[in-house]
C-alpha cells in the first residue's frame, strides 16, 4: 500500500516541485486548492501526511486542525509551507511537525521529506492492529492478578476483554507470549481507553529495546499492510552531555519525536533512546535521553562512556524514529535532585530561539564546558 499525502496549496509552481519530489520518494499526492475540499477529504480519506501552504495562517490552521480531529488522520505527519517571515515556532503552534521555507527547491524539499517519509511509515506501522486472541496476565498495582484475552495486538499496545474489570485499573505489569514463538513479552502498561463492552485498550510503557524489536518483527510478519522502515538517518554528533546530545543532519526529525540512536565504534554497537526537544530544519536536532528505567539509564551511560573513551575516533551514528511522543514523556526526568545540565537547560529554556541564535548559545556553552561530561559536556567529533 503506497503512502498517501494531501497537499493544500494554491501555488502551481510549489505543487509541481512537491509532485516531483514526492513521486521520487514513492508518496502519492492528492492535491486540493481550496480549504473546503481539503477539509472534506480529511474527514473521509486516510493520509499519512498533510502538507499545507500557510500563506493564510487562519485558513491553514483550520485545515491542520481538521486533520487532528479526523479519526483517520489524527496521526498524520503535518508539514507547513511558510515564507521567510514566519517564525518557526508559529508554524509549530499551527500544528505542524515539519516546516518547508519558500522558495522551495527540489534538493531542500527532498532532504526534509526523507525524514517525513520515515515518520509516515513508522506512524502507519505503529497503528497496525493484528486481530488475535491470546491469553494475557495482568499484575495490578495492589499485587492482584487478572487474566484476560486479547482482541488485537499492535506495536504500541493491546485491546483486551475480560469477564470483570477492576474498579480502578492503574499502572500494571503485562505478560504474554507471542503466538508461534517462545518469546515472552513483559512490560508495564497503562489504560488508554475503555468501552461499555468490557473492552480495555492498554498502552505499552517502558518496554525494553529487545522486546520492542521482537514485537515489531512479529507484527511485520503477521500484517499484510506492513512494510520495511526507511534506513536510519546518518548524523554527526556535535554536543554531548549525560542528559542529551545535539546531532547535525540535513534531515532532522521534529520536536516530540521518540528516536533510537545507534552508535558503532570499531566492533562495538550500542543503542540509546531519546526524545527530540529542539529541531532546526536542514541543520540538526537536540535529543534528550530517555532514562526512566534502570535499563535505559544503563544504555545511556554505556553510550556516553564509549564515546568519551574512544580516543577521538568519530562514531558511525544513526538515528531512526519510533513515532511521536504521546505526552507521557514531556516531563522525562525533571527530578528536583538531578544535577544541572547546561545542554538540557539550553534545550528546555531556549528552544524558541531562532536557529542562528540557538547555535550561538550552543557554541557558548560548548566553550564554557570543554572537558567535563559530568556537567553537560560538549564533545565534537
Read off the pLDDT of residues 308-322 as tens digits, 9 standing for 90 and up.
Answer: 777 767 778 899 998
- In this structure, are 266 and 356 located in the same domain? yes
How many domains does the chain divide into?
Answer: 3
pLDDT attached to residue 374: 39
Chain-wide mean pLDDT for the chain?
A: 83
Phi, psi at 370, each rounded to 5°: -75, -20
Helix (H) or strand (E) holding 320: strand 316-324
| Residue that is last in its domain, among 126, 148, 163 | 126
Of residues 222 and 18, which shows the higher confidence score?
18
pLDDT at 378: 47
* Judgement on whether residues 92 and 21 belong to the same structural domain of the protein: yes
Q: What is the pLDDT of residues 89-101, one digit of tens each?
A: 677 788 888 888 8
Same domain, 134 and 118: no
Question: Is the same domain home to 11 and 44?
Answer: yes
Kindly report the CATH number assigned to the domain that includes residue 47: 3.40.50.2300
The span from the CA of 244 to the CA of 221, in Å, is: 34
Domain boundary among 110, 126, 142: 126
Domain shared by 17 and 115, yes or no: yes
What is d(CA 83, CA 313) in angstroms, rounded to the nearest whole number?
Answer: 40
Which residues, 6+ apart, have CB-to-CB distance to 267 below 8 Å?
A: none
244 belongs to a structural domain: yes
CA separation for the pair 90, 240 (Å, rounded) = 28
The reply to whether 146 and 273 lie within a common domain is no
| 155 located within any domain | yes
How many C-beta atoms surround the C-beta of residue 126 within 10 A?
Answer: 18
- At 144 the pLDDT is 80
Whether 227 is covered by a domain: the verdict is no
Select the more confidently predicted residue: 373 or 259: 259
pTM, rounded to two decimals? 0.75
In a domain, 118, yes or no: yes
Which among 250, 268, 219 is positioned nearest to 319, based on CA atoms?
250
- Is 242's pLDDT higher than 50? yes
Give whole-number Cα distances, 203 to 149, 189, 215, 223, 354, in Å: 15, 5, 14, 19, 36
DSSP string, 103-162: SP-HHHHHHHHHHHHHHHHHHHHHT--EE---EEEEEETTS-EEEEEEEEE-SSEEEEE-
What is the CATH classification number for the domain harbouring 143?
A: 2.40.10.220
Say which range, 42-46, 161-165, 176-180, 327-331, has the weakest mean pLDDT. Answer: 327-331
* The most confident of 38-42, 103-107, 194-198, 230-234, by mean pLDDT: 38-42
pLDDT of residue 339: 76
List Cα–Cα distances, 169 to 20, 138, 160, 200, 207, in angstroms. Answer: 50, 10, 13, 10, 19
What secondary structure, in 3-state letters, does 162-188 show? CCCCCCCCCCEEEEEECCCCCCEEEEE
Identify whether residues 196 and 320 lie together within a single domain. no
Range of the domain at 352: 233-375
Question: Of 222, 249, 280, which one is at a domain's C-terminal end?
Answer: 222
Judge whether 9 and 33 are in contact, CB under 8 Å.
Answer: yes
What's the pLDDT tens digit per position in 149-183?
A: 999 998 889 999 877 665 556 788 999 999 999 99
Determine, yes or no, domain membership for 228.
no
Question: Does residue 18 register a pLDDT over 90?
Answer: yes
* pLDDT over 90 percentage in the chain: 35
Amino acid at each position: 500500500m503506497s503512502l498517501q499525502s494531501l497537499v493544500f496549496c494554491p501555488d502551481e509552481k510549489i505543487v509541481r516541485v512537491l509532485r516531483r519530489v514526492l513521486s521520487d520518494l514513492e508518496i502519492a499526492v492528492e492535491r486540493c486548492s481550496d480549504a473546503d475540499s481539503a477539509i472534506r477529504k480529511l474527514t473521509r480519506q486516510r493520509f499519512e501526511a498533510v502538507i499545507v501552504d500557510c500563506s493564510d495562517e487562519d485558513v491553514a490552521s483550520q485545515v491542520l486542525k481538521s486533520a487532528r480531529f479526523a479519526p483517520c488522520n489524527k496521526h498524520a505527519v503535518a508539514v507547513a509551507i511558510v515564507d521567510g517571515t514566519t517564525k518557526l515556532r508559529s508554524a509549530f503552534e499551527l500544528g505542524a511537525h515539519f516546516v518547508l521555507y519558500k522558495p522551495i527547491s527540489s534538493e531542500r524539499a527532498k532532504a526534509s521529506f526523507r525524514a517525513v517519509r520515515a515518520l509516515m511509515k513508522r506512524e502507519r506501522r505503529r497503528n497496525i492492529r493484528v486481530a488475535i486472541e491470546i491469553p494475557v496476565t495482568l499484575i495490578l498495582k495492589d499485587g492482584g492478578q487478572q487474566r484476560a484475552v486479547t482482541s488485537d495486538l499492535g506495536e504500541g499496545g493491546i485491546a483486551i476483554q475480560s469477564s470483570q474489570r477492576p474498579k480502578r485499573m492503574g499502572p500494571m505489569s503485562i505478560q504474554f507470549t507471542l503466538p508461534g514463538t517462545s518469546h515472552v513479552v513483559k512490560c508495564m502498561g497503562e489504560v488508554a481507553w475503555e468501552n461499555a463492552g468490557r473492552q480495555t485498550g492498554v498502552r505499552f510503557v517502558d518496554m525494553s529495546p529487545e522486546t520492542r524489536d521482537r514485537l515489531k518483527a512479529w507484527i511485520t510478519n503477521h500484517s499484510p499492510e506492513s512494510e520495511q522502515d526507511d534506513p536510519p538517518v546518518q548524523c554527526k554528533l556535535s554536543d554531548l552531555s549525560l542528559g542529551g546530545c545535539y546531532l547535525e543532519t540535513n534531515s532532522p526529525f521534529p520536536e516530540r519525536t521518540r528516536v533510537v540512536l545507534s552508535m558503532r565504534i570499531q566492533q562495538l554497537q550500542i543503542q540509546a533512546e531519546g526524545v527530540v526537544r529542539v529541531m532546526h530544519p536542514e541543520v540538526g536536532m537536540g535529543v534528550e535521553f530517555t532514562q526512566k528505567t534502570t535499563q535505559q539509564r544503563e544504555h545511556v551511560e554505556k553510550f556516553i562512556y564509549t564515546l568519551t573513551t574512544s580516543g577521538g575516533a568519530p562514531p558511525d551514528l544513526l538515528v531512526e524514529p519510533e513515532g511521536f511522543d504521546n505526552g507521557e514523556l514531556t516531563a522525562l526526568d525533571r527530578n528536583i535532585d538531578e544535577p544541572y545540565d547546561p545542554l538540557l537547560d539550553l534545550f528546555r529554556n531556549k528552544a524558541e530561539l531562532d536557529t542562528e541564535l540557538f547555535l550561538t548559545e550552543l557554541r557558548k556553552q560548548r566553550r564554557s564546558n570543554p572537558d567535563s561530561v559530568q556537567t553537560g559536556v560538549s564533545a565534537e567529533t
